[in-house]
Amino acid sequence: MKRCSEPICKEDISVDLVRKLVHSQFPKFVGLPIIKVIPGGWDNVTFRLGDNLLIRLPSATRYSAQVAKEQKWLPILAKSISFEIPRPTAMGKSTEEYPWNWSIYNWIVGEVASNESDLDQIKLADDMVRFLAQLHSIDPTEGPEPGDHNFHRGGSIEFYKSESFSLIDRLQGIIDTKAIGGVIQQALSTTWSRPPVWVHGDLSATNLLVTEGRLKAVLDFGSSAVGDPACDFAIAWTLFGSEAREHIRSGLGIDEATWNRAKSWVLS
């Protein structure tokens, strides 16, 4: 009995399968060791390919459109970003055994950021301000609009309104539902009225690599789009403390309405 409704289940994306894909499509890489990365992400299953490359394979149909998007836009975004971001080396094609396109990238050395480490949060906040300022300044012309491909990151939080308030109702007596509902309701009354900007869409500690306490690389642009940058500012709560959070806000000149929408993204 099949364990999932997808053409292939996530747990069946194995080293053996990846070896077959590489052997049939990229003979020049045959013989390089292939090692599964653990943890390797949710949207994709990740493998090391030799010392300098990695392979990312979508784990479900809803993530598959991210491959072509990253292949097209990452080289363009990289021209304007001073931090490392993934660099596509090749795109693998779907087969009978594996139904979606997949990617080979360069391997970036670094440690995953953590709010439990002894990182200097102010210095890291400075780096985050610089990264976001660079990303949000890139020409958004022809960039992908928010939609199903990126779970509407950069779009209106109205998309999550019903789900958010349903969950709030279920948490009555467990959390301060009135306060949380008020934040979301306040955010719903505002919109991004300026031109759309590039957004990463999934800024989390696990997608940030640091070396010697400073930001080195930003990973996983699968949820990127052009739209409202509020979703990117959610990192100010999920990784940083209050002082560094205000450092980010002042460094980017984030207005009250956008800041409130960022809070709502965190809560949603």
Whether residues 73 and 115 share a domain: the answer is no
Sequence-ordered list of residues with C-beta below 8 angstroms from that of 89, at least 6 positions apart, any chain: 53, 104, 105, 106
Which residue among 49, 71, 106 closes a domain?
106
Inside any domain, residue 33: yes
Dihedrals phi, psi of 58, to nearest 5 degrees: -55, 140
Whether residues 97 and 134 share a domain: the answer is no
Domains in the chain, number: 2
Whether residues 136 and 42 share a domain: the answer is no
Sequence-ordered list of residues with C-beta below 8 angstroms from that of 36, at least 6 positions apart, any chain: 14, 15, 45, 46, 47, 48
Whether residues 201 and 74 share a domain: the answer is no
Range list of β-strands (E), the chain = 34-36, 44-49, 53-58, 88-92, 102-106, 111-112, 197-199, 208-211, 214-218, 225-227
What pLDDT band is residue 187 in, cutting at 50, 70 and 90? very high
Give the integer Cα–Cα distance in Å for 46 and 53: 11
Mean pLDDT of 45-64: 97
Q: Which tens digits make up the pLDDT trace of 94-106?
A: 999 999 999 999 9
Whether residues 156 and 260 share a domain: the answer is yes
Q: Which tens digits make up the pLDDT trace of 199-248?
A: 999 999 999 999 998 999 999 999 999 999 999 999 999 999 999 999 99
Token representation of residue 193: 């009225």
Crossing angle of helices 161-170 and 177-188, in 10° steps, is 170
- 62 is in which domain, residue-wise? 10-106
Whether residues 131 and 90 share a domain: the answer is no
* C-alpha distances in Å from residue 86, one per residue of 33, 48, 131, 264: 20, 14, 14, 29
Whether residues 149 and 117 share a domain: the answer is yes
Q: Any idea what the Cα angle at residue 200 is, between residues 90 and 110, rounded to 5°?
A: 65
Give the integer Cα–Cα distance in Å for 210 and 113: 6
Whether residues 247 and 146 share a domain: the answer is yes
Mean pLDDT of the chain: 95
What pLDDT band is residue 116 in, cutting at 50, 70 and 90? low
What pLDDT band is residue 9 in, cutting at 50, 70 and 90? very high
Whether residues 172 and 57 share a domain: the answer is no
Token representation of residue 253: 């000149």
Which residue among 40, 72, 106 closes a domain?
106
Inside any domain, residue 161: yes
Whether residues 226 and 140 share a domain: the answer is yes
CATH of residue 204: 3.90.1200.10
Mean pLDDT of 125-147: 98
The whole-number pLDDT of residue 39 equals 78
Is 258 within 8 Å of 192 (Cβ atoms)?
A: yes
What pLDDT band is residue 40 in, cutting at 50, 70 and 90? confident
Q: Which tens digits make up the pLDDT trace of 10-35?
A: 999 999 999 999 999 999 999 999 99
Is 98 within 8 Å of 22 (Cβ atoms)?
A: no
Is 238 within 8 Å of 205 (Cβ atoms)?
A: yes
Inside any domain, residue 237: yes
Inside any domain, residue 83: yes
Inside any domain, residue 1: no
Inside any domain, residue 40: yes
Is 42 within 8 Å of 59 (Cβ atoms)?
A: yes
Whether residues 173 and 261 share a domain: the answer is yes
Annotate 44-86 with DSSP letters as a single string: EEEEEETTTEEEEEESSGGGTHHHHHHHHHHHHHHTT-SSB--
Is 253 within 8 Å of 136 (Cβ atoms)?
A: no
CATH of residue 62: 3.30.200.20
Whether residues 88 and 202 share a domain: the answer is no
Give the integer Cα–Cα distance in Å for 99 and 2: 16
Task: Give the burial string for 191-225 (b: 16+ CB within 10 Å, else e).
Answer: ebeeebbbbbbbbebbbbbbeeeebbbbbbbbbbb
pTM of the predicted protein model: 0.94
| Percent of the chain with pLDDT strictly greater than 70 | 98
Inside any domain, residue 186: yes
Residues in the chain, total: 268
